Structure 1
Amino acid sequence: MDISNKAADQAAMANRKYIHWQDEGVEKIPPNEAEDIQAVADQINAMQKAQYNRTHARTQGIVKGTLIIKDDLPKHLKQSMFEHGGEHAVVCRYSSEPGDPGLDDRIPQPRGFAMKVFNVPGEKFDSTKTAQDIEFNSTPALDLADAKTTKEIIDLRINYGSNKPELYKKLEARPDTDLQKFRDSVRNTHLESTRQYSQTAYRFGDYVAKYCLVPSGETQKKLYEETVKPDEHEPDILSQWLKNFHKAHDAEYLLQFQLCENLEDQPVEYAGKVWDPEKYPWQTVATLVIPKQDSFNYELKSFWEDHMRIDPWLGLKTLQPLGSPNRLRRVVYPASSKLRRMMNGKKEIHVHEMDQIPGPSLAMGSDFLKVN
């Protein structure tokens, strides 16, 4: 459920009791987690070496836009970078999650979305940064739900990934079978109509929350019924649809947060459970607007894949990633990026302002955006 802008709805949400991010029980580090995390880092690096240049999510499109933070948010939503209204330039990437760059779009799989938000004030984990990284996935629950699960599932994928019947036999012996098999049955639809989720929990100023990105443009909503048909469409149909859409239409998304109120019902350490949106509604804090543009600029695509890294630990301390999957990311993401750059002979560039990004520039302005 999404909360409307009606005063009564906002007042009701403001009066609810939200978990403070430092409350007891928000994070509980299990025994041997550090060993599990290191094992995952070793697994990922081994996969990278065995599958040279095939372990980075496939780019479906990259666009530039503006994140507009509402200036009339209620007090409980005026948290972290959303404390004050304003506009921030962003660069965004649509992707398919599996690392094979030749993956057929007709095969249902989770889809990703990532944003690098510029000119964000506040204390960062890396003090040299002025950008905030935010990443999403089209599935609300994360199958790699904690470090132990991640180690077990990646081990199965390494050993049985090319033998799906055998892999499924192993997955069906697990208590989380449905969670692990869900990725192969996701609704395969137009990326512009796909809702995106953080999956994991984050500090949200004083509180704990998950976030999501909701397509809100009327044209985007209509595209929800446009699903991929394997017998009719080409292997790169999602990229084609995305390029055709951005060439002809502006896009708009709502950035929403879902605050934590009950740690048993809304676990932070285990990301395999969806927080019930009927009991814990989504609340809008900002709007992402993307003007018409070429969503498949080859110079920008190469720059992103060769030099950039999106990492939720590159950003504000008041948006600290929480829970086991995020502690894992803090180790695995930079290790994976470092090895990939080394194998590809590329240097990571710490992008902290839009001027470092190649491709068409965008004229900022509250009247809306226009491509120069």
Structure 2
Amino acid sequence: MLEAFAHSAVRYSSSIEKLEADEDETVKNLNEQFHLIQEQTAKDYGSAVRGVHAKAHAIVKGRIKILGGLAAPLAQGLFASPGSYDVLMRFSTLPGDILDDSISVPRGLAIKLFDVPGDRLSGSEADNTQDFILVNGPAFAAPTPKAFLANLKMLAKTTDASEGLKKALSATLQVVDTALETIGIKSPTIQTLGGAPNTHPLGETYYTQVPFRHGDYIAKLSLAPVSPNMTALTGYKVKTLGRPDALREDLEEVFIEQDSIWELRVQLCTDLEAMPIEDASAIWDDEHSPYVAVARLTVPAQISWEHGASDGQDKAIAFSPWHGLAAHQPIGGVNRTRKPTYEASAKFRGDFNGCPMHEPRALGDVPTNAMTID
């Protein structure tokens, strides 16, 4: 059955992308909003943080193993042949300010693979890393760059609001979101503003949400927990009362005890109408094309956060879907606008903090944040 899906996979062509006439203007406005957020948070904290996903909850090191025997449309680019790569993972939450964990927003997961051979994306020619940026939802909150801009403006307006107000708003929106889900309605806007279910990050499945070139084909990726220590946490509600860093503490409890294992999966595009490229908010139905495992990622038991060391490491590292191989080029409007905005955000952090971003070439180049537990 999987072979049938693979045989119907749509081949990549640059003609599938349709640029909006005023996309450059949208990028300019996105950069302005990111700059407003980062200026405000840098003033508040005394150092610059990311424009989105500012708060990290864990930074861990692991190894990813590419599976053998994949169907040809799956065995593309990084996944063309069996092999293994060192990995750095960063768990985060959405806003550009650092909030109490009772304010429940979508979770983020950034992955950086090292020493990856192959032709590089523009601007990444001197590097040897491959980044994947994922969120715990199957589709992006906005369909187009303009809608992305509108959402970012809403986030920017909340950046300097009091934390007490944000806590109250989040508690209310979580109730609203739960009520809507009981009648089969999901609201990405409500979840983005603090109404996301406050579930354990390690029980979640993460998605690239937006499409990428997959060698000769087109795909989205997901990362799903498979080891029992994490699958047991799916749907588990985090207790945040009186615990501003509850997520960091709960992640630490799991990571320090035993190895954690995920599957990296690929969903091939098999129908450009049902699985559109330029609507980032469209969920690609599993009935059209299932997610298929192409790799296994293992994080050995380790300390996932050390105050001081991990904070410094977090400042030193940048992630972008445009760090990587040409075979995994980000495609679609939202992805196109992410390239200049991520670059501008990283530059602001480097300039403000007096430490320009340098892409590491090996896991050993990343500042040590923790010891592996024997």
State if a TM-score over 0.5 links the two structures: yes
Tell whether the 8 Å contact from 1:41 to 1:332 is kept in structure 2 after alignment. yes
Structure-1 separation of matches of 2:334 and 2:364: 32
Which structure 1 segments of 5+ residues have no match?
1-8, 169-175, 363-369
Tell whether the 8 Å contact from 1:94 to 1:111 is kept in structure 2 after alignment. yes
Tell whether the 8 Å contact from 2:36 to 2:156 is kept in structure 1 after alignment. no
Q: 1:52-96: CA deviations, max 9, x gaps?
A: 135452010011100000122121211011001011010111111
Q: Secondary structure at the match of 1:119?
A: coil
Alignment of 1:244 onto 2:280: no
Q: Report the AA paired with residue 356 of structure 1.
A: D
Residues 10 and 144 of structure 1: CA distance in aligned 2, closer, same or farther (over 3 Å): closer
Aligned ranges 1:68-147 → 2 under 5 Å:
68-101=65-98, 103-125=99-121, 126-147=124-145
Q: Report the AA paired with residue 19 of structure 1.
A: V
Alignment of 1:218 onto 2:228: yes
Aligned ranges 1:280-359 → 2 under 5 Å:
280-298=289-307, 300-359=309-368
Structure-1 separation of matches of 2:154 and 2:251: 33
Give the CA RMSD over aligned residues: 2.3
Q: 1:139-186: CA deviations, max 9, x gaps?
A: 222114321112222233434664888xx9xxxxxxx99332233332
> Could you tell me which residue of structure 1 aligns to residue 59 of structure 2?
62
Residues 177 and 280 of structure 1: CA distance in aligned 2, closer, same or farther (over 3 Å): closer
> Could you tell me which residue of structure 2 aligns to residue 189 of structure 1?
199
> Could you tell me which residue of structure 1 aligns to residue 146 of structure 2?
148
TM superposition score normalised by structure 1: 0.86
Q: Secondary structure at the match of 1:93?
A: strand
Q: Report the AA paired with residue 81 of structure 1.
A: L
Q: Report the AA paired with residue 273 of structure 2.
A: E
Alignment of 1:19 onto 2:13: no
Q: Report the AA paired with residue 94 of structure 1.
A: F
Alignment of 1:201 onto 2:211: yes
Residue 32 of structure 1 is aligned with which of 14, 22, 34? 22
> Could you tell me which residue of structure 2 aligns to residue 262 of structure 1?
271
Structure-1 separation of matches of 2:222 and 2:105: 18
Q: Secondary structure at the match of 1:288?
A: strand
Q: Report the AA paired with residue 3 of structure 2.
A: A
Structure-2 separation of matches of 1:156 and 1:292: 39
Structure-2 separation of matches of 1:119 and 1:42: 34
Residues 197 and 218 of structure 1: CA distance in aligned 2, closer, same or farther (over 3 Å): same
Residues 159 and 96 of structure 1: CA distance in aligned 2, closer, same or farther (over 3 Å): closer
Q: Secondary structure at the match of 2:233?
A: helix
Q: 1:74-122: CA deviations, max 9, x gaps?
A: 2121101100101101011111111222x12122210111111011110
Which structure 2 segments of 5+ residues have no match?
43-47, 174-184
Residue 355 of structure 1, CA deviation: 1.5
Identity %: 30
Structure-2 separation of matches of 1:23 and 1:122: 20
Residue 45 of structure 1 is aligned with which of 35, 39, 43? 35
Q: Secondary structure at the match of 2:313?
A: helix
Structure-1 separation of matches of 2:153 and 2:331: 24
